[in-house]
Structure 1
Amino acid sequence: MYKFRPKTLFLGQKINYLPSCQSTNDVASSLITGGNVLDGTVVITEHQTAGRGQRGNQWEAQPGQNLTFSLILQPSFLQANEQFWLNIAISLGISDWLTTYVGDRLKIKWPNDLYVQERKIGGILIENTLYGYTLGWSVVGIGLNINQTRFRVPTATSLSNETPNDHDFVLPDLLPGLLESLERRYLALRSGQRDVLKTNYLQVLFRYQEESAFIADGARFRGVIVGVEETGRLAIQVGDRLRSFAFKEVEFVF
């Protein structure tokens, strides 16, 4: 089904297709453990029975309707404390691709989600293995809502819902362009183009420089996102105080 060669140097040159599996991230991790895997390998499935999201949530995806896959990368050029740069590159790669369909309504919600205005269209789950002080292997799980039109939560959406289509997207036809977009941003990171990546990231960051409501330590407050620190912490200006939050320490209020 996914028998193609994207126009990439390495990303997606090897594709492992599974009709069904619990989690593509788990399959990818097993391939790494087995020791016989190539940098850039893709594991993709039509039906992920136990897909994981951030905060331990389960990823809702109807079988055969969405893109659910994992990338196997070897970003040994990144130090352990630079892991968030991989998030930036991956989320920008997806953002670039989705923007061709939905325009500037596409936003990256810190730390790992893709939104069309106020609705979630995709998510990323990156699991890293450290070799000393550098990254060894990274498994990048990506879930994108494509043809699914109904969701249990009102804040979810899909490419089909957000575009004026009268037919379903053909999933195998979408993947090559997405992989090419992801590789462009990953190679930019590998070649040291961090200033450009950071600038582009802030340009599409969800609620950047907008006053918004948040919850931290059980308390609700209002603040303005002013940036993302090198370590990935979200910087929020709260009155005359600048606060920073790690993953799971702060929630957005919708």
Structure 2
Amino acid sequence: MYKIYPKTLFLGQIIQYLPSCQSTNDEASALIAQIDPPEGMLVITDNQTAGRGQRGNQWEAKSGQNLTVSLILKPSFLAATEQFWLNIAISLGIYDALSPLVGDTLRIKWPNDIYVGDQKLGGILIENILHGYTIEWSIVGMGMNINQTEFGYSTATSLQLQSPLPNAYDLPGLLSRLCETLEQRYLQLRSGQRDVLKINYLQLLYRYQEEHTFESDGHLFRGTIIGIDTTGRLAIAIDGQVRYFSFKEVSFLVE
């Protein structure tokens, strides 16, 4: 069994624990199709065998060493065109939970990653079910590298690598804390505090207001991230002009 005791109103109060599954997002989607799950329900696994990222990439996670969880929300207050606001709130909730353990180098990388320096600590995959012009359900998949110390690629890191403990980090305890910070940010969003959320998000945005090399459509260019628009597109200043990029239209290059 997987027991957590978050001090929340609803988020994480009900969980479904699976020792192993292909994808917690897929399991959450099946729950929505079969029953009417309560908002804030979590699907948790120790071993996700077919996790995926925003670009369809496989998520590498060793069994029992990390946090792999999907959160079910009902953000009907958001229009379909406003879905990136949920990404902002979730990213900030993760930051709030992990930053006391990692420190000032923790950043939110547009559109869906959590970075320490130039290395990836975690990722987010949000899948929405629409009803007309609003979001009826959101499945928020989150994967965070916690106790794993060996990866198949150099751009990955973990909490244990960044802030080593003599023993492993307590995963249920971390998840309880994460539930609390996620709920706080989600309630901020639900109550209309978008200005605060956006200010906080930009303050923590990876490479914000720094010149960097990007790739789009096979072309490399130098530019400076200056913000995001209301639909979540990334605004990059290039040679005195501002261009906007949607998901998958631009990528960061390692320098």
Do they superpose with TM above 0.5?
A: yes
Q: For residues 98 and 177 of structure 2, what CA distance do their matches in structure 1 show?
A: 10
Query: Offset at 1:164?
Result: 3.2
Query: Offset at 1:85?
Result: 0.1
Q: For residues 4 and 108 of structure 1, what CA distance do their matches in structure 2 show?
A: 26
Q: For residues 250 and 29 of structure 1, what CA distance do their matches in structure 2 show?
A: 29
| AA matched with 2:103 | G
Q: For residues 118 and 241 of structure 1, what CA distance do their matches in structure 2 show?
A: 26
3-state DSSP of counterpart to 1:54: coil
Alignment partner, residue 131 of structure 1? 131
Q: What number of residue pairs does the alignment pair up?
A: 254
Alignment partner, residue 81 of structure 1? 81
CA distance 1:97–1:4, shift in 2 (3 Å): closer
Query: Offset at 1:36?
Result: 3.1
Q: For residues 169 and 8 of structure 2, what CA distance do their matches in structure 1 show?
A: 22
Spell out the pairing of 1:47-58 with structure 2 (5 A cutoff): 47-58=47-58
Alignment partner, residue 119 of structure 1? 119
Alignment partner, residue 195 of structure 2? 195
Query: Offset at 1:172?
Result: 1.3
Query: Would you say 1:7 and 2:22 are equivalent positions?
Result: no
Alignment partner, residue 212 of structure 1? 212
Alignment partner, residue 165 of structure 1? 165
Gaps of 5+ in 2: none
Alignment partner, residue 236 of structure 2? 236
Query: Offset at 1:96?
Result: 0.9
3-state DSSP of counterpart to 1:26: helix
Alignment partner, residue 42 of structure 1? 42
Over residues 59-116 of structure 1, what are the superposed CA-to-partner deviations in whole Å (9 max), with x where a residue is unaligned? 0000000000000000000011000000000000001111111111000000000000
Query: Offset at 1:196?
Result: 0.3
TM-score, normalisation: structure 1 = 0.99
Query: Offset at 1:4?
Result: 3.1
3-state DSSP of counterpart to 2:103: helix
Query: Offset at 1:2?
Result: 2.1
| AA matched with 1:3 | K
Query: Identity rate of aligned residues, in percent?
Result: 65
3-state DSSP of counterpart to 2:45: strand
3-state DSSP of counterpart to 1:19: strand
Q: For residues 133 and 90 of structure 1, what CA distance do their matches in structure 2 show?
A: 22
Query: Would you say 1:28 and 2:28 are equivalent positions?
Result: yes
Alignment partner, residue 92 of structure 1? 92
| AA matched with 2:185 | R
Q: For residues 219 and 96 of structure 1, what CA distance do their matches in structure 2 show?
A: 36
Query: Offset at 1:3?
Result: 2.1
3-state DSSP of counterpart to 1:173: helix
Query: Offset at 1:165?
Result: 1.5
Spell out the pairing of 1:146-185 with structure 2 (5 A cutoff): 146-185=146-185
Gaps of 5+ in 1: none
| AA matched with 2:178 | L
TM-score, normalisation: structure 2 = 0.98
Alignment partner, residue 101 of structure 2? 101
Q: For residues 195 and 64 of structure 1, what CA distance do their matches in structure 2 show?
A: 38
**C-alpha contact (below 8 Å) 2:4/2:175 kept by paired residues:** no
